[in-house]
Structure 1
């Protein structure tokens, strides 16, 4: 029991840290995305905001019965899928109305976000848990880190070509990565729900 309790305490601490970091990224990338008129940054901001909400759900599920954990993971997957649809709609709107993203701002914020997401990923992997919610958290951090790399490249292309399409393209790719992550999480949750729950001693 002591070992399980210690594991739960570690999970809670990690989830609180990554929750706080993702909430900060949500605000920072959101403000930066509006200032830079960047679809990719705004997509990443909304992604981090949804991640923060999911981390809160996962935090509340730690130590509870398996059904709570799988439902929390399912909520995580559904939120990622909803987010991906919203980003696609925003990219379509910007394609129709026009946009003028600021490349340097995109690149600087992408690097900052990548460092923070790498910290989150290392913290989660250090825990070495097979828990479905911790696996979901790892998926989120991997998705965000990949998205940051895409935004960095898009910012450079925007500066080089003086066109907005790289920003819009990365915004759509961020949505696609989120959608794949959401499907993976839902699959993991379904698999976990079929496994027998450990008996309470």
Structure 2
């Protein structure tokens, strides 16, 4: 799972690089940047949680990182809703 998350992190990082290079400032492009940024946070969270679960032999890091990811995604959703107004 960590390997897949790392590959996704590289892909999302490249996509964000391309999106940020775009001169288009329309709402759908800004929303794509927010989605991609959130995906990068999720990828980093999966990698961190996987490493901590393995190192600590505990499921707690997975739950904590999952809660943090939830809050980040919720914040991103709020930002996208503001763009739509």
The verdict on a shared fold, with TM-score over 0.5 as the criterion, is: yes
1:125 deviates by 1.4
Question: What is the aligned partner in structure 1 of residue 28 from structure 2?
Answer: 133
1:148 deviates by 1.0
Matched, 1:163 2:58: yes
Matched, 1:108 2:22: no
Matched, 1:175 2:67: no
Distance 2:57 2:3 in 1: 17
1:110 deviates by 1.7
Which ranges in structure 2 are unaligned for 5 or more consecutive residues?
Answer: none
Aligned length: 85
Question: What is the aligned partner in structure 2 of residue 62 from structure 1?
Answer: none
1:129 deviates by 1.5
Greater than 3 Å deviation, 4+ residue runs: none
1:138 deviates by 0.2
Distance 1:167 1:126 in 2: 34
| Secondary structure of the structure 2 residue equivalent to 1:128 | coil
| Secondary structure of the structure 2 residue equivalent to 1:184 | helix
CA RMSD of aligned residues (A): 1.1
Larger gyration radius, structure 1 or structure 2? 1
**TM-score with structure 2 length normalisation?**
0.90
Distance 2:24 2:69 in 1: 26
Which ranges in structure 1 are unaligned for 5 or more consecutive residues?
Answer: 1-104, 191-201
Distance 1:164 1:116 in 2: 27
1:147 deviates by 1.5
